[in-house]
Structure 1
């Protein structure tokens, strides 16, 4: 709600004070004229300026949602005819913006289809990839229609909630869908400047150091370490990855930018341009973020040939699939995610994890993550205690002698009997679904047998059913990552993840475990290969309103 009990009118993304009256007209078109004033106080000066600039950034012919607190009957989709705002500042006293907007009503969501014009098909690429056409309307949309051929769907859960992503959208199709105007902005792409103030247009001031792009799945900001902080949302929080951007290979990376501006800023898609002076010459970096995407796209350019690179600012063990257009982390990080990055063009993999292109004036790339599902077991890292775990034929303590993440691990010490192990408290599962068991193991000395990260399955009464095993005989003195996906058997209602020394090793054998997680398997559509194909087939989107 606006200050002092006023209602709000939201014009596109711009929140404004709702005035007592609106002027309407009929005839060939149903017009709606609004005018009002924003002021500091009670708003902040930055809020007044953002709303003033936002009004003046509205584009004639653009279809936008408009919603009212006190006049909800006027909620609907409108086409912009004209907009203006007069700015006044009385130094150290007040700032005002007197605004006017003239609109033509398209209709309510009950009578209006929104049509997404998805232009373009496949990026030119060096890997013979056809790409995957995908599309993500707002959270809360309904009635998605692509004609005689239906796409498949997946659900991505981000900071704004669960979003349906449509995969395999038929070629030469402009999907139609409905959406309540009050839901249209949920899950949108946001561009913000200093103080997390959302920016509503493109011809507006943008701080070179305080900007951010976010869509609820990816949040990109200047990096405290490295050039960019690319954060992936999973498990209820964002996890950071710092990336270097360089026009000098690994010798030097860009640590600050001289200027920032927006080339596009819509709920569906935003493009941010960064500029760095090279004395002489300059580099530009365009960052693109789309609604529903798990990755940010980048395009780095220089005027003269150079060694262009985008790479993790610290070494993270990775696997290169450069022949297929991407690299990815070999194992999950402490947030349960695995970074992924790639390009549409041939590149050399960077040792830290990333891409290099020599003797080039441009480099296209994408950065994202195969983001994990929520961890089911309560204490995967042992950073605080050993709660949630029960030792069988062994003891379990915390140890800071070895740790893969953080400062602590769980130390299993065998006593007597078969398969010394530590098992987490049983978690509810659904028979027939796929679950992922992963984690890191470290044996200080050779144990003479295999080690495993397994799942014990139980029925509704928590009676044991069976075990799904993933075993390995790793070298001693190194951390080894184990990762496997299993299908919950018939009648399974609970599962317990465990790490174990297989066989009957005798007393005193040591095994460290860290980041031991039970999760639903990473959904199809979020794996590194999926993200690569979705990048290749990214389609610019424009939204139009049509009467049903």
Structure 2
């Protein structure tokens, strides 16, 4: 909100003080002339400079939304005809930016469609993949139209709210959609520089160490202990994964880049270019982030052949599907997420989790996460107590003798009878929906009858219906991960996740459980293979305003 009771004007992403006048002209060109002044004080010096640079970064013909506090009738979509700003520094006293903008009106929200022109083709790849053509308009859009063939939809919840992703967008179609101008920037991709100041254009300074790139689902920043930090937004917060980039194999990762610049900076797509000096030569890394995406795209280049790599900064047990174009963590991390990365071209899997290309001058890659769904049962890790769990034919105690995450786990000790088990309190489910049962188990000694992480299903009267089982015979003395999805049966209204010993093992048999979770299954579109196919089929987007 502007200070001193002034209203706000927003042009694209640029917040400005709303001035008294807005000069309009009709006839052939319906223009809108705006001018005003930004100053420090009351703004910070960095804010004034950012707004000055942002005005001067506006491009002739660029589509922008304009919104006003005191003149909301002028809200709408415009193209830029002219823009200028005069910067004045009153040393040790004040800073001003006197700006002027001439816009040509496209129309109000009620008369304007936004057309997303998805250009290009699917990425050439070595895995015979056709890719998935997908698109994510602004949060708050409406009336998404692709002609006679409708795409499917999924939603992703990020820091900005819930964004809709359209999947299987028909080929050779430019989707049309409507959006209130006040909502157009919701869910946008943004880049910030030192002090978390958003950068509004491309021809503006960008700190090599103080930048961040985010779309509300993925956040990428430089890291003091790795090349960069790729964070996935799940469970109401960003979850961190450190990654290294190298042009010398695993022996020497790039600690920090020398310079950063912007190749593109639009609400739907941002490309950051990073430069690192070599001796001789240089390395260039382009990072691309799209609106609605669960992954960041990278393109690493050098002048002469080298061993190029991007990999987890510390070992995380992983499964290589390099023959299919990706690598993914074997099991959930402590946040319930699973990293995933890959390339469109053949590569060798890195032991830490990542990709390597030898004798290469370029390497494309993507990094993302299979995002965890909300845990439905309470107390999955037993870090404080065993509340919310009930033991049958066994005792359940909290133990720090073994722990997969944190310092504690739940220790199940069989007494007598069949299937010694610990079951979590019932959680509400929907019949016919898919649910994921996962958890880590540790058997100090062999359990010949096997163990399981199962789901018990109950009807609306809490009457037991059936059990969905996930059984294995574990190796002793090591943690192992169990993970499977089941469909809730007809009439199911609630469910309880449990970890159990099969058969009748007798008294005194031990089984540790940790991170035992019941969740809605990973939605179609967020699995590692889905992310890979979305990377292959990612289309550059340009947005235009057209009359309905």
TM-score normalised over the length of structure 1: 0.98
Which residues in structure 2 correspond to 1:59-458 (within 5 Å)?
Answer: 59-458=59-458
Q: Whole-Å Cα distance in 2 between the matches of residues 508 and 95 of structure 1?
A: 76
SS of residue matched to 1:532: helix
SS of residue matched to 2:109: coil
Q: Whole-Å Cα distance in 1 between the matches of residues 382 and 524 of structure 2?
A: 30
Q: Whole-Å Cα distance in 1 between the matches of residues 275 and 453 of structure 2?
A: 48
Q: Which moved more, 1:442-451 or 1:466-475?
A: 442-451
**What's the counterpart of residue 32 of structure 1?**
32
Q: Contact (CA 8 Å) 2:447, 2:474: kept in 1 or not?
A: no
CA shift for structure 1 position 378: 2.2
CA shift for structure 1 position 307: 0.3
Q: Whole-Å Cα distance in 2 between the matches of residues 338 and 16 of structure 1?
A: 41
Q: Whole-Å Cα distance in 1 between the matches of residues 214 and 468 of structure 2?
A: 39
Q: Whole-Å Cα distance in 2 between the matches of residues 4 and 195 of structure 1?
A: 24
Q: Contact (CA 8 Å) 1:349, 1:355: kept in 2 or not?
A: yes
SS of residue matched to 1:3: coil
**What's the counterpart of residue 512 of structure 2?**
512
CA shift for structure 1 position 450: 1.0
Q: Contact (CA 8 Å) 2:392, 2:422: kept in 1 or not?
A: yes
Q: Whole-Å Cα distance in 1 between the matches of residues 161 and 417 of structure 2?
A: 47
CA shift for structure 1 position 417: 2.4
Question: Which runs of 5 or more structure 1 residues have no equivalent in the other structure?
Answer: none
**What's the counterpart of residue 495 of structure 2?**
495
TM-score normalised over the length of structure 2: 0.98
CA shift for structure 1 position 505: 1.8
**What's the counterpart of residue 546 of structure 1?**
546
Q: Whole-Å Cα distance in 1 between the matches of residues 454 and 310 of structure 2?
A: 37
CA shift for structure 1 position 270: 0.2
CA shift for structure 1 position 368: 0.6
CA shift for structure 1 position 256: 0.7
**What's the counterpart of residue 54 of structure 2?**
54
Q: Whole-Å Cα distance in 1 between the matches of residues 66 and 130 of structure 2?
A: 39
Q: Whole-Å Cα distance in 2 between the matches of residues 272 and 471 of structure 1?
A: 47
Q: Contact (CA 8 Å) 1:115, 1:174: kept in 2 or not?
A: yes
Pair 378,93 (structure 1): closer, same or farther in 2 beyond 3 Å: farther
CA shift for structure 1 position 418: 2.1
**What's the counterpart of residue 483 of structure 1?**
483
- CA offset digits 1:219-260 (Å, max 9, x no partner): 111123311111111222211111110001011100111000
Q: Whole-Å Cα distance in 2 between the matches of residues 23 and 400 of structure 1?
A: 72
- CA offset digits 1:157-179 (Å, max 9, x no partner): 11111111111111111111111
- CA offset digits 1:352-388 (Å, max 9, x no partner): 1110000111010001111121111122122232222
Q: Contact (CA 8 Å) 1:121, 1:133: kept in 2 or not?
A: no
CA shift for structure 1 position 92: 2.4
Size of the aligned set, in residue pairs, is 548
Q: Contact (CA 8 Å) 1:304, 1:361: kept in 2 or not?
A: yes
CA shift for structure 1 position 506: 2.1
Q: Which moved more, 1:249-258 or 1:150-159?
A: 150-159
SS of residue matched to 1:240: strand
Q: Contact (CA 8 Å) 1:375, 1:517: kept in 2 or not?
A: yes
Q: Whole-Å Cα distance in 2 between the matches of residues 5 and 399 of structure 1?
A: 59
Q: Which moved more, 1:408-417 or 1:50-59?
A: 408-417
Q: Whole-Å Cα distance in 1 between the matches of residues 18 and 326 of structure 2?
A: 50
Q: Contact (CA 8 Å) 2:277, 2:283: kept in 1 or not?
A: yes
Q: Whole-Å Cα distance in 1 between the matches of residues 127 and 178 of structure 2?
A: 37
Question: Which runs of 5 or more structure 2 residues have no equivalent in the other structure?
Answer: none
RMSD in angstroms over aligned alpha carbons? 1.1
Q: Whole-Å Cα distance in 1 between the matches of residues 530 and 60 of structure 2?
A: 37
CA shift for structure 1 position 456: 1.0
- CA offset digits 1:427-466 (Å, max 9, x no partner): 1111110000011100111123211111111112222221
Q: Whole-Å Cα distance in 1 between the matches of residues 385 and 7 of structure 2?
A: 50
CA shift for structure 1 position 38: 1.0
Q: Which moved more, 1:157-166 or 1:414-423?
A: 414-423
Q: Contact (CA 8 Å) 2:394, 2:412: kept in 1 or not?
A: yes
SS of residue matched to 1:195: helix
Pair 416,224 (structure 1): closer, same or farther in 2 beyond 3 Å: farther
Q: Which structure 1 residue ranges, 4+ long, deviate > 4 Å from structure 2?
A: none
CA shift for structure 1 position 304: 1.1
CA shift for structure 1 position 116: 0.5
SS of residue matched to 2:52: helix
Q: Which moved more, 1:293-302 or 1:81-90?
A: 81-90
Pair 387,195 (structure 1): closer, same or farther in 2 beyond 3 Å: farther
Q: Whole-Å Cα distance in 2 between the matches of residues 250 and 264 of structure 1?
A: 31
